[in-house]
Structure 1
Amino acid sequence: MNRLHRTSSKTGLGGITEYCRLNCNRPFTSHIIYIFTLSIMTILVFGNSLKNKFVYDDNILLVGNPTYKYFDTWKLLFTPFNPANGVEYLPVRDVSYAIDYFVWGENPVGFHLSNIIIYIFTGIICYFFSFKLLSILKNDSLQNESLNETCFVSFIITLFFIIHPIHSQVVSFIIQRNALLSAFFFFLTLYVYLLFEQSENIKMKIIFYCLALLFCLLALFSKATSVTLPILLLIITTFNKNNKTWSARMLQLAPFFLMGLMAFRLISSVARHTNVIKSNLIEFGAYSLTTKLATAIQIPCFYIYKLFVPFNLAPEYDIAFAKNFLSFAVVGALGATVFAFWYAWKNREKSPYLLFCLCWLFITLAPVLNLMPTQPVVADRYAYLPSYAFCFALSILLYRTAKLRHEIWLKAVCLFYLATLSGVAFYENTIWKDEKTLFTTMIQRAPHISKGYANLGYVYFNEKQYDKAFGLLQRAYQLDPTKPDYELKRGMIAFRKNNLEEAIGYYKKALAINEQSMAANYFMGISYSRLGDYKSALSALQNVLDSTDADTNSFKYKTMLNMNLYIYPKLKPELDVLRASTLQNPDDLGIRRKLADTLLQYGMLDEALGQYQEVEKRNNTDWQALFSMAKIYRHKKDWQTAMNYVKQALSLKPQEEVLLSEMGILHMAIHNTSEAIMWFGRISPKKHELYALSRYYTAVCYFQRGNREKAEYYFGLVDQNYPEMKLKTAPYTKKLAAL
């Protein structure tokens, strides 16, 4: 008691360290041995990743990024809707990249070394957390275990965790630093919170609680999936029988849930703003609850299989999940899940670890069950935190079996399995050596995914091996008709040779395949600008700003720069004349409308909106002005205001097909597909182009709702009557054919 009293009186890090040492309930030297062993194993298994280069998204989001390169603190921390990598607002990860840049420059060895160091520290915290967790989950069959045995089981759990091959993607792929950091702070939060719960000293309780809040915040801003952390804290405190009431537990956890909710709202808003969460995802039943649930039910089974048999791992998988809720795969997966939870609940007193592991697995998988549609649907990195549940359950099962039977062959099998996992992980790291090894392996292991072919094609294109490059790009398009990479690269060759009209032809073909392609719109705009066609250039560049694709190449920034430096100065004289005429004749609505229309055409939305509002004040029966304002608000993604203006226009022009089509498009944007179908159905066949688009959009709505029969009917109708639209329908019909 005197030693504990002296420790409690200390403050600062030294006091906390001494407190932890005395309260781990086992010899300090044994901790050092296990930590040293885990660290050495991590280095032996993952040390070969130091030879790897920057690959894949590293070269797009990290290499050469000025925010990291010049340690732009303001953009790193305080511009969530203009994040450092243009995609995600994760300031903890971004600061770590900036530190790496400061220390290593653009040497990939340094970045890989940082990943390994973070992984080592995660293993150490995982070990201490496992030891604390085992003391909570002890039951009648385990209560007689010595402290040495408990600590040994903690070591085995952590050993399985750190050598598992499914973690190779997280450690070897630098851009997955977010997963590494979030797991480190995730385990640290849980461990420190348990120290808070078990401490009896008020000062230490306050320190541990504040540290847990800090680490939780760091986890949340390392990776969005850390939003599950408060739920795990609640689960663990439920298993921790410390006689606290539910109200007391919830009061303690309230700040964690509040932080999690606020972080989720911010990060998801940024993801929508940067189009990480897509509004036009081409995935059958993407916005149908039953279809999404069918996929979500199957995903845990996929990961459990990969955790048991971690072979043939792939950077991305071409697995197709059943979409029908009543299919054998869905019913079987649901039945297995229900049975597992029923069995775990029934045996919760005898084997509480089983229920805990199931809760951990499903809670940490919840953010990646594709309920918010993103791509890819499944990936090894998504299993990083969930894999702890597998390692925990497997270690307990093997230890208890070996203890009961004392069979030497069982221990030999365990050692062989550990060695196999280590060997597979060591080999998987070599796949990430460079882009050729990575994408060649992706093609071998996921031959029906277009990304492998497209990215390997880019590699050969950069090496000027054009025959190989275009062969791979053609194959990529056959697999995914939404990817116009072949036309883009053909256009790039023509662009470099200054054959601008030829380049524009290829870019138009690319846009026929994917009208949202930022690259095609951007380079087409630059080509038009060099030809002196500034109006066409501005139209193409405006499409870049309106695109819903993720801006991973800073096209929007480059577009604004080109528009302000080269395009607007050429168009300024015309606008100045119109502005002067408007000032001289403020009541002439014809001149004001012409100025507003020109501003809208040139993408000057705010000024155009102001002029249209002036027109509306003087003449509220101008339905075209109302429609133009609706288009401006659609560009701003203010769907409700846009709808209100279209409704006003419809009250003046009830049968105007362009307004009916616009209303349908707006309802599609908010995924109200039933309303969208109704509006598209009101368009007359006499309006050929609008009617063709209405049939196409109707088919897309049924596709998004998961109604295969009607989607196939309407896509077939479009293909038969409007063959010029086959490039638009191809991605959808291919998906339907694969069901």
Structure 2
Amino acid sequence: MTKATHTATSPRLFAWLAPLVLIAAITFAYHDTLSVPFLFDDTASIQQNLTLDSLWQSLRPPADSGVTVSGRPLLNLSFALSDRLGAGTLAGHHLVNIAIHAANACLLYALVLGTLQLSSVSRYAPRFPHAHSLAIALLWSLHPLQTESVTYLVQRAESLAAFFYLLTLYLFLRSQTTPPHRSRFLLIATVTACALGMAAKEVMVSAPLLVLLYDRAFLSRDLPSAWKTKKHFYLALFSTWAVLILCIIQSGSRGNTAGFHAGTSWIDYIYTQAFAITHYLRLAFWPSPIVFDYGRELITSFNSIAWPAALLIVAIAWIFKRWWHNRPSGFLGVLFLAVLAPTTLVPVATQTIAEHRTYLALAPLFAGTVLLFARLLGEKAACFLTAALSLTLVFITLDRNRDYHSVESIWSDTLAKRPTNDRAWHSMGYVYLEKNLPDEAKNSFRQAMQLHSDPVNIMGYAHALTKSGDTGEADEAIYLYRTALAAVPSTYTDVYESMSNLGLLLGQKGEYDEALRWLNNAIALAPRKTGAPYNLGSLYFSLGRYEEATAPLRLALSDPKQGDAASDLLVRALLSLGKTSDALALAEKQTAAHPDSLLLRLSHAQALAASGRLDAALAEYQAILAQAPAFPSARTQLGILFFATRRLPDARRELALAVTQNPRDAAAQSTLAEVLLKSGEPDEAVPHFEAALQLAPADRKSRYLLANTLLQLGDLDDAIPHYQRLIQEKSPPLAEIHNQLAIAYAQKNDFAQARAHFSECLRLDPKHTGASENLRRLPAP
């Protein structure tokens, strides 16, 4: 067995200087990433991850969904911690990612240096191991391929697993180069680090085996000796696989997005990985083009990868030969293959090629490259060349990080490099929706569907149809949502938004029961997400179910897009429930928090009016309109206030202008109709009642007034269906509605129907003198 002693002691100055150089270089390379927004999987894994609310709960990450944190409790815990570190800001998460990367660079430096100082590698080691170790760590940490694992938050999975992988190897090395009384403690720490890594990402699966192979390559020099002298340690180390097995079970097969049952042909996946590995190697030495997301493309023909496969087979044979003869290059090759093995051999359906998988694999590759340079060019020349390369890579990395500065820029860059990536088209569709460009969004989602017509892309296209606001496209969107939702489990991407939008569209079409079911299902699926609570509260409000509207509207108050609208509706719901003081308190609180919001000021004015402070309300309405004359909702409420105070000419003027500015304002249409009725102009009132009901079919008061107006005008055939619908909905005043309907039938000489409805009116209200008198006047049957 080779003695695990060092051939030289690193100078104290270099021992401090090297980590500082690494940290400074990494800080410079990633200093402008602190404001990079949440991207792609970040949303589900961080923003909408309810388990991050509690540190204890974070140890049980979401299961069965296939999100990045599924089955990775330590990764999930790290996001809970960085969320608290940055007080919920992006900067906190990014700082932790950069810190982990810097720690990995320092660990790699220490591991390489410690290995080069072992007597067993003295004939291979350079004379300046400190400089070469620093060169390797710099080249590895500044390479632009690492940006995805550092700048893209959720890919902390790679860097965190690499941290524990490197820490496991380094602690084991230290355990063999320290006095026996410290060695036992370091071996325990090695096992602990390995177990923790198993809870970070599945790539750790090879770590126990690689420790054994490291022992064989650099310490014990053969496997039997390594096993015999440290059998109990290796049994403990291999037992850490139990942690990984438990994590995989907890993940629920990662929502069937990975594994042999993920629906991806294994042979096609292997063909694709043959190309992927050679592609990674090319990018390591010529990092262009670097791609954020490669999509789900598979290579289905061996002819397409014949040459890459041949080169890969030759490389693997060479690595195996070098490993068999116990050469350091053999160990480096095995480490490279072992890190890539989990995602090479186990199909990942959602992304067949991913640059972040090379994060740790680049370490043995660059270590071998720098040491080869040292032998071929001389040690000083190799160090200078590596320093020059590292400097060049810093600026390439800085440039690459600029692509991450917005969601639009990263997906535009991806599409420019991979135009056949349906996920990139899908994501660009969302970018356009965010920018309120529905036509461009439809084109993007349509491109995604043409490339891959799966339920997720279909739902995306339906989102664009919904956003366009074209009533002619609503039926198509409803059909697409129903089709897609029937084909996927609730854990799929886009299901929440699809449920929410489907509920919204069905509510607009008057299919209320199904609409309420979908909206409630969406909220139950993801209580933290926005959209569905507002849609549900709005639907309950339109149905006059104000008490039921309050709970979802309170949830929606935190919605960054619809929070003001939710507050406005909640104030109005509370007013409708007679809870004037609660409504006023809420309106004052929201207005104080957001004084520039005209909508919140409007609801505050409504609460003031309801509480009897009419002068204050009038002043607020007029102040709002002075600031925003084209704010029809404020003009509507001012008209309603004038109507309530019997200022009919003023009410008519304001409401007529409000309807002109926004013909789709149901409240303006219905109140203007009432003003016209009070002004003795029933003919003019009818079209406004009809417009109000077209916009708000559940407005029972407007329907009742319209039916009465039509009856007054003698339009019996038009009046009767409105009365019938009100009776079907059991709308109050139900007895009077039966009486009015009976009068309409009597005027049509349909005395049987008239008699039946007069009788029903009297059954509901025996003291209804009008119905009693009307019934007496009917001809005898």
The structure 2 residue matched to 1:493, chosen from 460, 467, 485, is 467
**Structure 1 residue 532 displacement after superposition:** 7.2
* Counterpart in the other structure of 1:177: 156
TM-score (norm 2): 0.60
Contact residue 66 and residue 254 of structure 2 kept, 8 A = no
Are residues 1:306 and 2:290 paired? no
Q: Which amino acid aligns with 2:9?
A: N
**Relative to 1, partners in 2 of residues 1:414 and 1:28: Cα closer, same or farther, differing over 3 Å?**
closer
Contact residue 422 and residue 452 of structure 2 kept, 8 A = yes
The structure 1 residue matched to 2:219, chosen from 241, 257, 265, is 241
More deviation, 83-92/427-436: 83-92
Between the aligned residues of both structures, percent identity stands at: 18
SS of alignment partner, residue 73 of structure 1: coil
Q: Which amino acid aligns with 2:480?
A: K
Q: Matches of residues 62-77 of structure 1 in structure 2 within 5 Å?
A: 62-63=46-47, 65-68=49-52, 71-77=53-59
Q: Matches of residues 369-388 of structure 1 in structure 2 within 5 Å?
A: 369=344, 371-388=346-363
Q: 1:334, 1:249 → 2: CA distance? A: 38
Q: Matches of residues 309-458 of structure 1 in structure 2 within 5 Å?
A: 309-317=286-294, 322-325=299-302, 327=303, 329-330=305-306, 332-346=307-321, 352-369=327-344, 371-403=346-378, 413-458=385-430
SS of alignment partner, residue 301 of structure 2: coil
* Counterpart in the other structure of 2:30: 46
Contact residue 60 and residue 553 of structure 1 kept, 8 A = no
Contact residue 440 and residue 456 of structure 1 kept, 8 A = yes
Are residues 1:206 and 2:184 paired? yes
Q: Which amino acid aligns with 1:478?
A: Q
Contact residue 87 and residue 274 of structure 1 kept, 8 A = no
Q: Which amino acid aligns with 2:364?
A: A
Q: Which amino acid aligns with 1:307?
A: A
Q: Which amino acid aligns with 2:176?
A: E
Are residues 1:30 and 2:14 paired? yes
**Structure 1 residue 350 displacement after superposition:** 8.8
Contact residue 182 and residue 226 of structure 1 kept, 8 A = yes
**How far does the alpha carbon of each residue in 1:447-499 deviate from its partner, in whole angstroms, 9 at most, with x for none?**
111222222221221221223322322222222222114532245337x89x6
**Relative to 1, partners in 2 of residues 1:541 and 1:261: Cα closer, same or farther, differing over 3 Å?**
farther
The structure 1 residue matched to 2:441, chosen from 469, 478, 482, is 469
**Structure 1 residue 142 displacement after superposition:** 2.5
The structure 1 residue matched to 2:257, chosen from 259, 276, 285, is 276
The Cα RMSD (Å) is 4.0
SS of alignment partner, residue 453 of structure 2: coil
**Structure 1 residue 251 displacement after superposition:** 3.6
Q: 2:129, 2:35 → 1: CA distance? A: 37
**Structure 1 residue 239 displacement after superposition:** 0.8
Q: 2:247, 2:92 → 1: CA distance? A: 31
* Counterpart in the other structure of 1:120: 102
Q: 2:419, 2:473 → 1: CA distance? A: 33
Are residues 1:160 and 2:135 paired? no
Q: Which amino acid aligns with 1:185?
A: F
**Relative to 1, partners in 2 of residues 1:294 and 1:493: Cα closer, same or farther, differing over 3 Å?**
closer
* Counterpart in the other structure of 2:557: none
**Structure 1 residue 351 displacement after superposition:** 8.5
**Structure 1 residue 232 displacement after superposition:** 1.5
**How far does the alpha carbon of each residue in 1:486-545 deviate from its partner, in whole angstroms, 9 at most, with x for none?**
532245337x89x6x964541322454673262435543565578775775699789989
**Structure 1 residue 348 displacement after superposition:** 5.7
Where relative contact order (Cα < 8 A, 6+ residues apart) is larger, the structure is 1
**Structure 1 residue 353 displacement after superposition:** 2.6
Q: 1:336, 1:138 → 2: CA distance? A: 31
Are residues 1:219 and 2:193 paired? no
Q: 1:84, 1:341 → 2: CA distance? A: 32
The structure 2 residue matched to 1:187, chosen from 124, 143, 166, is 166
Q: 1:337, 1:107 → 2: CA distance? A: 44
Task: In structure 2, list runs of 5 or more residues that go unmatched.
Answer: 489-493, 546-781
Contact residue 139 and residue 349 of structure 1 kept, 8 A = no
The structure 2 residue matched to 1:196, chosen from 167, 175, 182, is 175
Q: 2:459, 2:65 → 1: CA distance? A: 26
In the alignment of these two chains, the number of paired residues is: 524
Q: Which amino acid aligns with 2:178?
A: S
Q: 2:124, 2:259 → 1: CA distance? A: 49
**Structure 1 residue 218 displacement after superposition:** 2.0
SS of alignment partner, residue 100 of structure 1: helix
**Relative to 1, partners in 2 of residues 1:264 and 1:353: Cα closer, same or farther, differing over 3 Å?**
same
Q: 1:23, 1:141 → 2: CA distance? A: 11
Greater C-alpha radius of gyration: 2
Are residues 1:297 and 2:274 paired? yes
Q: Which amino acid aligns with 1:302?
A: H
SS of alignment partner, residue 378 of structure 1: coil
The structure 2 residue matched to 1:255, chosen from 222, 236, 256, is 236
**Structure 1 residue 86 displacement after superposition:** 8.6
**Relative to 1, partners in 2 of residues 1:533 and 1:461: Cα closer, same or farther, differing over 3 Å?**
closer
More deviation, 359-368/299-308: 299-308
Q: 1:552, 1:311 → 2: CA distance? A: 39
Q: Which amino acid aligns with 2:87?
A: G
**Relative to 1, partners in 2 of residues 1:100 and 1:555: Cα closer, same or farther, differing over 3 Å?**
closer
* Counterpart in the other structure of 1:228: 206
Q: Which amino acid aligns with 2:463?
A: K
**How far does the alpha carbon of each residue in 1:31-72 deviate from its partner, in whole angstroms, 9 at most, with x for none?**
11111111111112222222423333323432354433xx41
* Counterpart in the other structure of 1:633: none
**Structure 1 residue 278 displacement after superposition:** 7.2
Q: 1:258, 1:312 → 2: CA distance? A: 41
**Structure 1 residue 340 displacement after superposition:** 2.5
Contact residue 168 and residue 428 of structure 1 kept, 8 A = yes
Contact residue 75 and residue 84 of structure 1 kept, 8 A = no
**Structure 1 residue 193 displacement after superposition:** 1.3
SS of alignment partner, residue 484 of structure 1: helix
**How far does the alpha carbon of each residue in 1:243-282 deviate from its partner, in whole angstroms, 9 at most, with x for none?**
7353444542222222224413532551426343378756
Q: 2:256, 2:508 → 1: CA distance? A: 30
Q: 1:455, 1:81 → 2: CA distance? A: 24
Contact residue 39 and residue 120 of structure 1 kept, 8 A = yes
**Structure 1 residue 84 displacement after superposition:** 12
Q: Matches of residues 596-607 of structure 1 in structure 2 within 5 Å?
A: none
**Relative to 1, partners in 2 of residues 1:555 and 1:533: Cα closer, same or farther, differing over 3 Å?**
farther
**Relative to 1, partners in 2 of residues 1:318 and 1:486: Cα closer, same or farther, differing over 3 Å?**
closer
